[in-house]
Structure formats: C-alpha cells, structure tokens
Amino acid sequence: MRQRHAPCPHLAPSETYIPVNGIKSAYVDSGKPRPAMWGTVALPIPDPFVDMNERAVQWIGEKVWQYRVSFPARKASSSSATTDLVFEGLNIFATVLLNGRKILKTDNMFVSYQVNIGEHIKPDGNNILEIIFDSALIRGRELVKEHSHEHKFLVRQPEAGRVAVRKAQYNWGWDWGPMLMTAAPWKPVYLEQYTARLDDKGVRRTPVPRNGKYAVPFKIATPQLWHPLNYGKQTRYELQASVVRSGEELHSTSKLIGFRRAELVQEPDAHGKSFYFRINNVDVFGGGSCWVLADSYLSQISSVRYHDWIKLMAEGNQVMIRVWGGGIYDDALLDACDEFGVLIWHDFHSRYSLGREQRDYQVQERYRLDYDFENNDPESWCKSTFPARYIYEHFLPELVKQEDPFMIYHPSSPWGDGRPTADPTVGDIHQWNLWHGAVNKYQEVSLLGGRFVSEFGMEAYPHLSTVRRMTTHSSQLYPGSMTIDLNNKGIFNERRMTTYVSENFRLKYDLPSYIHLTQVVQAEAMRAAYKTWRRDWGTPGDRKCGGVLV
C-alpha cells in the first residue's frame, strides 16, 4: 500500500463515466485520468435542518456503515502498467476490502490513499469493493480513554473525543452549526492504470532527485503580477507539464499560477508591534470574513458554489478570507479566491491537541503542505486557537520553511507573541467581548480593537422566510422557542440577543419585529466595528489595525 496526498486529476477532453451500483467507475489509460464519485446514499431520515430533527438523526454517528459496490475492470494495455485504486478522501476510520481481501485501513480524513491492486483485481469481470466505516464518535471516545494516562484532552466544545480524531471538527457541532456525524468517501474514488504519469505539479525551488522530483528553472521576460482585489489585475499564468516517451505523450497536466510577493509586517511602533500584510510592496488592509464551511454535507459542495460565494465576497469589496481550522481543505475554494483577488489566511486543520498525534502529524501534514503550496500561495498559514505548542511553534514552522522558505507562517490565531492572546498591542486577536465574554456594548468598539482583529461578530436572527422554512409548526414561531433555540447554536444566544436589542431599542416580541430588531443591532455593530477599526488603519509607518475579519 502506498499512501500519498493526491490532488484531483487533470481531466482529458474525452472523459467518460461508467456508473455502477452507486459508484462511477473509470480508468486511466495512457495517463489520462477519469475520476469517479460515489453516488448519494438515500436514508429515510427527516431533514436535520428543519424543526428539531437534528436530534432524530444522532444515531447515524453511532453506527458502523458499510458501502458495497461492484465495478468492471479492463486488462492493462501493457504488461508493465500499474493498476491503482485511488481514494482521494475517506471520512474517516475505513477498512477497505477488494474481492474479500483487505487492501487498506485509514484513520485520516485529510490524506488521500493510492493502493496497488494488481494482485487483487479481476481484469475480465466484476470486482466487489467494500468500505466499512467505524463510528468516529465512538472511536474518538475510545482513543481518549486509551491515551488518558499520557495526555489530557482539553476542549471547549462539545466533547474531548473530537480532538483525538483526524476528522473535520465541525462534525461534532460548533457554536455556528449542527452536530451531524458523517461516514463516507467524501472525495473521488477511481481506478487508475498507467505506465508513466505526473504524480504532482507545481513550482519547486529545490530539487529532490531521491524522491523523483526535478526542478526546472525558467524565466518570464516581463511577468505581470497577481494583485489583490481593487489593487490591480489578477494575472495568472498557465503552467503545463507533460511526460513524453519516444515522442508519445503519456500524461499531461496544467495549473494556473499567479506571481506575487507577500509580507507580514510586524515591527515595533508607537502602539506596540504592527501586524499587517504587504502585497507586491503595497500595504493592504485585510478586510473580509472568516470561512467555516459551505455546507454541513460535503457532497453538496461544488466548485460552482465556491465560485459564487467568493464572487459575492469580491462584490462586497472583501479582500481577505480566513479559512477556519475545523473544516476541510479544498482546492476549489483556493482557486476561486485566486480568480477574484481574495487573499487567504489558512488555518491548519487539526485536532487542537498534542500527544499521540505527533508522529502522525509529521507524515500527514507534509502531504497537505506539498499540495497546497502549489495550489494558491496562501498569504498566511495559521494553526489553531488551542494549545499544541511543539507542533505549532517548532514542527510546523520548520516544515513550512522546508517546503517554501518564502511562505508566511503565523503560529496560531489568536497569537500574542508570548503575551496573552487578548493583548491588543501585538499579534492578532479574536474580539469576542462583543457578543461573547463581557458582552460589551457595540458602541464601545473603539476600546476593543487590536493590531489585527481576525475574528469577531454579532449574532442576529435570519430572515423571517428562513425561520418559517426551518420551523414548520406554527406553535414554535416565536422568539426563543424550543425549535429556534435548538437551531441557534450560539451559547446563551437568547439572553445575549435580548440584552443587545433591549439596550438599543424598545423591545417588540412578535417574531417579525424581533427578527428585524436583531438584524438592525447586527448591522449597527458591524458598521461601528468596521468604521472604527478601518480608521485605525492609519498611514504608512503608523498602522494601528491591519485588518478585520468577521
């Protein structure tokens, strides 16, 4: 078994798909891959986003799930050809059987696997592929008990078992989303036959011949730089690479690449220590949003949705996005940001703990880095909000330096550079004394700023039409009802929301009026925060606030 991170293959114009029992099977002949996706498995469950149905589907996360499909195979075109079964993403504790023989066992959602199955496949008949997923919820709890003698699993929400598992943390629920445990192939699964091919693509500054990589230097006579939104054009060049033998092209691939210079400016000044980004020698105010996830169900996320969301951000003049560390890695999101000129502040996705994962991390995160550095040159890689000091203060910065010495690495978010993470004079802060914490008045935002506010917010009810779609029983259509409270994941949400509304308006408690008032409070809070902290951007040499991400 050979394990690696495999980016989505470059599609040939002549691609075809062969659906077989819920899986689309495909082949690679002469190095031209044709990916396959698992079909949707329909379960007789209620919509978890309606009423209190989220509680009715929790049993799914406690069960073992087995996927069984059949697919045909063709005999390799050459005796020297390799036949691999590629799993670009298995979520998460999977045992994979091919024709009754175990070929793979996984424990990481973020790593792709490529298995040589030449000895196990039937070239002239149907093959049975089975994938058995153990419960990540139960396995996480077991791992906590197993390692309790050597490590304390410290978490804020919702349970310690999540930090023991290399799985997107949002599955356990968060203060912005539901608890919906999933177990399935979440990326393409396909059969690949080849004699030679390009394993990966990208620009490498240092060749490593021992690993089969070779750096080819080249020059662009008059390169046009990629610029952030509103600072210039997003010029990108197409990099093409081919494997040729005796004049015959065996495999080709391509990638769009933008050239830019990114700096994180941290210098002593009158306010403490600066924190802002400089792109192509121009200071850029990092105004934008934090990105959690496009959908709780990964199968519903498409490149079109990413494109539309980031386009909407750009139309709102948002120049930066921070990818939150409890979600997923997805190159479609990075490509969309690159297209529209949106800078990326990207968290590493991890368990937010230190202990048994250290050895795995050294293997797994290298695959992740190797791919993402080639994808979009994120402006900043950040680790997490929670402690795992060896990893984010030593191991990860060394790894980043090896892969790309020009990449900006920031140890954590928030980060106080050795001081408390709430210190407004250094690093970046998460300002949750607005809404959370001390529940400061939003009129006090001038006292709550920092060198870079990388997370803050103010909650409000969604539009009345959304609430009515979510709440089908008329008896639950009032502020603070059980249905509305279950679907509002904010901690002590109703108490805080009522406090902010009553401090600023005469309270009206019919649902349409209350919804409107919460939205006005949210709008006023956002206006006050961005207006105040944007003014703190200052002038060259006196940048008090380098950016604001909601």
Reply yes or no on whether the pLDDT at 234 is more than 50: yes
Structure confidence at residue 373 (pLDDT): 42
- DSSP E strands in 408-461: the ranges are 409-410, 429-431, 453-456
Lowest mean pLDDT, pick from 176-190, 323-337, 357-371, 533-547? 357-371
- Alpha carbon distances (Å) from 507 to 458, 460, 487, 499, 500: 18, 15, 22, 10, 10
Torsion from C-alpha of 6, 10, 403, 162, nearest 10 degrees:
-40
| Band (220; pLDDT cuts 50, 70, 90) | confident
Assess whether 124 and 175 both reside in one domain. Answer: yes
Domain closes at, from 260, 293, 318: 260
Reply yes or no on whether the pLDDT at 60 is more than 80: yes
Whether 476 maps to a domain, the answer reads yes
Lowest mean pLDDT, pick from 303-317, 371-385, 417-431? 371-385
Assess whether 241 and 335 both reside in one domain. Answer: no
Whether 320 maps to a domain, the answer reads yes
Structure confidence at residue 171 (pLDDT): 95
Reply yes or no on whether the pLDDT at 374 is more than 70: no
Identify the DSSP state of 443.
G
Averaging pLDDT over each range in 16-25, 72-81, 311-320, which range is the top one?
311-320
Structure confidence at residue 394 (pLDDT): 84
Whether 211 maps to a domain, the answer reads no
Assess whether 320 and 185 both reside in one domain. Answer: no
b/e burial code for range 30-44 (CB count within 10 A of at least 16 → b): bbbbbbbbbeeeeee
Lowest mean pLDDT, pick from 255-259, 375-379, 501-505, 536-540? 375-379
Assess whether 116 and 223 both reside in one domain. Answer: no
Q: For residue range 455-478, what is the model confidence (pLDDT) as tens digits?
A: 999 999 999 999 999 999 999 999
Lowest mean pLDDT, pick from 17-26, 180-189, 470-479? 17-26
**What contacts 139, CB < 8 A, 6 or more positions away?**
93, 161, 165
Q: Which residues pair with 94 in a beta bridge?
A: 133
Structure confidence at residue 6 (pLDDT): 35
Q: For residue range 147-171, what is the model confidence (pLDDT) as tens digits?
A: 888 877 778 778 889 988 999 999 9
Reply yes or no on whether the pLDDT at 385 is more than 60: no
Q: Which of 250, 256, 239 is nearest to 198 (CA)?
A: 250
Assess whether 464 and 410 both reside in one domain. Answer: yes
Reply yes or no on whether the pLDDT at 364 is more than 60: no
Assess whether 385 and 520 both reside in one domain. Answer: yes
Assess whether 349 and 480 both reside in one domain. Answer: yes
* Count of C-beta atoms within a 10 Å radius of residue 421: 16
> Does residue 333 sit in helix, strand or coil?
helix
The whole-chain average pLDDT of the chain stands at: 84
Structure confidence at residue 250 (pLDDT): 81
Q: Where residue 24 sits, what CATH number does that domain have?
A: 2.60.120.260
More confident residue, 389 or 122: 122
Which pTM was predicted? 0.84
Whether 393 maps to a domain, the answer reads yes
Q: What percent of the chain has pLDDT over 70?
A: 81
Structure confidence at residue 214 (pLDDT): 65
Tell me, what amino acid is at 462?
P
Whether 153 maps to a domain, the answer reads yes
Q: For residue range 287-333, what is the model confidence (pLDDT) as tens digits?
A: 999 999 999 999 889 999 999 999 999 999 999 999 999 999 899 99
Structure confidence at residue 78 (pLDDT): 64
Assess whether 119 and 93 both reside in one domain. Answer: yes
Assess whether 486 and 476 both reside in one domain. Answer: yes
Whether 412 maps to a domain, the answer reads yes
Whether 3 maps to a domain, the answer reads no
More confident residue, 127 or 379: 127
Domain count, the chain: 3
| Band (543; pLDDT cuts 50, 70, 90) | very high
Average of pLDDT values for 379-394? 63
Q: Which of 103, 96, 98 is nearest to 123 (CA)?
A: 98
Assess whether 231 and 303 both reside in one domain. Answer: no
Q: For residue range 249-294, what is the model confidence (pLDDT) as tens digits?
A: 888 888 999 999 999 999 999 999 999 999 999 999 999 999 999 9
Structure confidence at residue 253 (pLDDT): 86
| Band (369; pLDDT cuts 50, 70, 90) | low
Assess whether 81 and 150 both reside in one domain. Answer: yes
Q: Please tell me the distance from the alpha carbon of residue 64 to that of residue 56, in angstroms, as a whole number.
A: 17
Tell me, what amino acid is at 243?
V
| Band (390; pLDDT cuts 50, 70, 90) | confident
CA-based max dimension of the chain: 81
Average of pLDDT values for 431-451? 96
Structure confidence at residue 194 (pLDDT): 76
| Band (550; pLDDT cuts 50, 70, 90) | very high
Whether 72 maps to a domain, the answer reads yes
Assess whether 352 and 463 both reside in one domain. Answer: yes
> Does residue 489 sit in helix, strand or coil?
coil
- Domain limits at 252? 218-260
Q: Where residue 544 sits, what CATH number does that domain have?
A: 3.20.20.80
